[in-house]
Structure 1
């Protein structure tokens, strides 16, 4: 008689699928961080501190209707913190990587910069669109949803095969 549970057996038979499920499930820790910080920092920077001056740099397009420099700062600060949390979650709990911290950290910084670039420009367009259809109050939430999906699409393969691979 086997002492292995059905779930344990399933995990052993489908390790890559289980890893992807863990990646998505445990990524929600950084998603919660992302949402909470955006919900706190957006009103703090935009309404509280009045940081609504337009901010335009390269493809970043934060005009006043999109929340200006306040939304930009809230988004960038939020994403840096969310990515820091996510690094430790992914390395230790999802991929259970034995890669050296020094080797994984600089690669993750590059990944995070890519994600931060994406998450930095998208919210200005999402906010402008949300305001144009009367959903301005939901723009931070819509931006967080977009950034979460984009981060998943970019991060999983890079983490699995480049940043946090298991030794063979």
Structure 2
């Protein structure tokens, strides 16, 4: 038995978490590409100058830092598409879940909505923080997205493992 196989057999939960994070990179790549394309597209349309505020979504204050409506929409769309990709990758390859699609998808939709709300609201605040500590304006959206992804992992891994895609019985 190879050293790696032995280690995996001895640490299945840790290996699962490692695989969760590695394969989450598929969704992360989708997230970044869509965020960059969305930000560039919406900014070209001038939407970075349009304030957006609704409930906890505050893209009014410091609009030059949070990119207004362009910032909100690019983070929202990026997160929604990344979560869609992530569902299929995690169910199939990490958790190898046999949970019925009809049972898993409503739970995952609730999780995704929570993640989308957090990910669309947080950047308005995190981008201001990064600007205030002197981070280059061109790097701020990327750092805000990194923070979003960390928050998503902390919330999504235990939720997916124990609620959405429980272990096969």
TM-score bracket for this pair, using the shorter chain length = over 0.9
Deviation at 1:161, TM superposition (A): 0.5
Moved more, 53-62 or 120-129: 120-129
Q: TM-score, normalised by structure 1?
A: 0.93
Deviation at 1:126, TM superposition (A): 2.0
User: Would you say 1:9 and 2:6 are equivalent positions?
Assistant: yes
Aligned partner of 1:67 in structure 2 is: 67
Distance 1:29 1:107 in 2: 21
Moved more, 143-152 or 61-70: 61-70
Deviation at 1:70, TM superposition (A): 0.8
Deviation at 1:134, TM superposition (A): 5.2
Aligned partner of 1:31 in structure 2 is: 28
Aligned residues: 164
Aligned partner of 1:159 in structure 2 is: 160
Aligned partner of 2:19 in structure 1 is: 22
Gaps of 5+ in 1: none
> What is the DSSP-based 3-state SS (H/G/I as helix, E as strand, rest coil) of the residue aligned with 1:137?
coil
Is the contact between residue 22 and residue 94 of structure 1 (CA under 8 Å) also seen in structure 2? yes
Aligned partner of 2:41 in structure 1 is: 44
> What is the DSSP-based 3-state SS (H/G/I as helix, E as strand, rest coil) of the residue aligned with 1:88?
helix
Deviation at 1:37, TM superposition (A): 1.3
User: Would you say 1:57 and 2:54 are equivalent positions?
Assistant: yes
Deviation at 1:88, TM superposition (A): 0.5
Gaps of 5+ in 2: none
Is the contact between residue 67 and residue 127 of structure 1 (CA under 8 Å) also seen in structure 2? no
Task: Show CA shifts across 1:47-70 (max 9, x none).
Answer: x11012110111111022221111
Aligned partner of 1:105 in structure 2 is: 105
Root-mean-square deviation (Å):
1.2
> What is the DSSP-based 3-state SS (H/G/I as helix, E as strand, rest coil) of the residue aligned with 2:58?
strand
Q: TM-score, normalised by structure 2?
A: 0.92
